[in-house]
Amino acid sequence: MKFSPLLSDLIQAFTCLPGVGNKSAQRMAFHLLERNREGAIGLSNVLHNAMEHIHHCKQCRTFTEDELCDICRHPERADSGLLCIVESPQDVLAVEQTLSYSGQYFVLMGHLSPIDGIGPEEIGLDQLELRFKNGNINEVILATNPTVEGEATAHYIAQLCNEYNIDASRIAHGVPVGGELEYIDGNTLTHAFSGRRKL
Amino acid sequence: MKFSPLLSDLIQAFTCLPGVGNKSAQRMAFHLLERNREGAIGLSNVLHNAMEHIHHCKQCRTFTEDELCDICRHPERADSGLLCIVESPQDVLAVEQTLSYSGQYFVLMGHLSPIDGIGPEEIGLDQLELRFKNGNINEVILATNPTVEGEATAHYIAQLCNEYNIDASRIAHGVPVGGELEYIDGNTLTHAFSGRRKL
């Protein structure tokens, strides 16, 4: 015995969400059917809308329903000549929440990973090069993740910057503020030592 | 800074799912936008369909898109005169998977809980009484959960059965098959002893 066909379809459909298996999908389906049909209809509509209208910003590749995202449209940011390169839209949000950066962004939507067939074009580096050519960027801050792939991507882009005589810098790796030295891994600590600054 | 309005709406909409907070909702939204737009459109359609067409079975109150669910339409089950009373459609599935029961079901969609304003009518006991009156039920198996509310609900329905001279039985509480005695709580063990059967 199974649930009714439509109910089975609904449960199956929920498993397309990340981290949702059959049991969680059942729980979601029954929760919405029993307690929140309005919310479910709302989710259905927004989901449809979003998938139809959200695409990549023409300039920075983040997700937006407009041609250019809010940040790219900001005139002061465009004049700053600063470009921060991150891997994902969530990273943009993380940097923005610090309130300490006021330049533009370029979102790679991933990182170089030749083994998965992700080369420079897949992460929009041709588009980035066009921006370098246009010549209104003075400095690039490489804020890719401190993983092997992130580092490789940062190095690749740094070389690209070199070709166009643009300053490229990598965000600092070191001990997180509020962290305790004894719990920090050796690799991070090595970075913290080699990246020390004079007081 | 926030995400674009439509993207924020999408993230917000996902939080109507049980166990999904803001961070998981972000993860879901970005996963679907980046990797599975087809699946998202599918989910949107099924969700809309399901919320519009799935309602309670007229006879047993489980979820179905038809007037009567598959089990209620089954002629042999209708003739069995057996009625198993459970709290949720998932419980029906659990019992069905044992392949050891071939009667009909009645799904309370909850349990008596006066403190939350859930009385006999909210769990369909008026409807159940009508079925008792019709007189084609000989035995009722009370398979509500072994919680305080589940027990109270079972007792309430047992009294109802008594009024209509219908046999009512409660599923056995005891040591789970494959369990080890030393890890079983005292309450369950007490039930296992008082419910012992002659060999």
Per-residue pLDDT of chain B (199 residues; tens, 9 = 90+): 578 899 999 999 999 999 999 999 999 999 999 989 999 999 999 999 999 999 999 999 999 999 999 999 999 998 898 999 999 999 999 999 999 999 999 999 999 999 999 999 999 999 999 999 987 899 999 999 999 999 999 999 999 999 999 999 999 988 888 888 888 888 888 888 888 888 8
- In whole angstroms, give the CA distance from residue B126 to residue B108: 11
Q: Which ipTM was obtained for this model?
A: 0.85
Name the β-bridge partners of B193: none
Q: pLDDT tens-digit profile of A31-61?
A: 999 989 999 999 999 999 999 999 999 999 9
Kindly report, as residue ranges, where domains of CATH 3.40.1360.10 are found in chain B. Answer: 75-170
State the amino acid at position B89 in one-letter form.
P
What does pLDDT average to over chain B?
Answer: 92
- In whole angstroms, give the CA distance from residue B73 to residue B131: 15
Measured over the CA atoms of residue A67, residue A69, residue A72 and residue A74, the dihedral's sign is positive
Residues of A in contact with B68 (CB under 8 A): none
Q: Which residue matches tokens 């001990």? A: A175
DSSP 8-state class, residue A74: -
- In whole angstroms, give the CA distance from residue B199 to residue A60: 76
The H helix count followed by the E strand count for chain B is 9, 6
Say if A76 is an interface residue toward chain B (CB within 8 Å).
no
What's A5-53's CATH class? mainly alpha
Could you tell me if B49 and B36 are in contact, meaning their C-beta atoms sit under 8 angstroms apart?
no
CATH code for residues B75-170: 3.40.1360.10
- Please provide the DSSP assignment of A81-147 as one string: -EEEEESSHHHHHHHHTTT---SEEEE-SS--BGGGTB-TTTTTHHHHHHHHHHT---EEEE---SS
Q: Chains A and B: how many Cβ contacts under 8 Å? A: 170
Q: Which two tokens stand for residue B120?
A: 């006999």
Hey, of B27, B63, B96, which one would you mutate to test binding to chain A, going by the most A CBs within 10 A of its CB?
Answer: B63
Say if A8 is an interface residue toward chain B (CB within 8 Å).
no
Stretch 135-164 of chain B: residues touching chain A, C-beta under 8 Å: none
Q: Which of A57, A124, A58, A115 is nearest to A87 (CA)?
A: A124
Q: Which two tokens stand for residue B20?
A: 């999904």
Kindly report, as residue ranges, where domains of CATH 3.40.1360.10 are found in chain A. Answer: 56-170
What residue spans of A36-97 are helical by DSSP H? 37-53, 70-73, 75-79, 89-96
CA distances from A144 to A86, A98, A152, B103 (A): 5, 16, 9, 61
Q: How many residues are there in chain A?
A: 199
Q: Which residue matches tokens 């769990």? A: B123
Kindly report, as residue ranges, where domains of CATH 1.10.8.420 are found in chain A. Answer: 5-53
Q: Which two tokens stand for residue B18?
A: 């049980």
Neighbours of B33 (CB within 10 A): 20
Residues of A in contact with B33 (CB under 8 A): 50-51, 54, 63
Q: pLDDT tens-digit profile of A169-194?
A: 999 988 888 888 888 888 888 888 88
Say if A33 is an interface residue toward chain B (CB within 8 Å).
yes
Q: pLDDT tens-digit profile of B123-170?
A: 999 999 999 998 789 999 999 999 999 999 999 999 999 999 999 999
- Topology of the domain comprising A56-170: Dna Topoisomerase Vi A Subunit; Chain: A, domain 2 (3.40.1360)
Measured over the CA atoms of residue A9, residue A12, residue A17 and residue A23, the dihedral's sign is positive
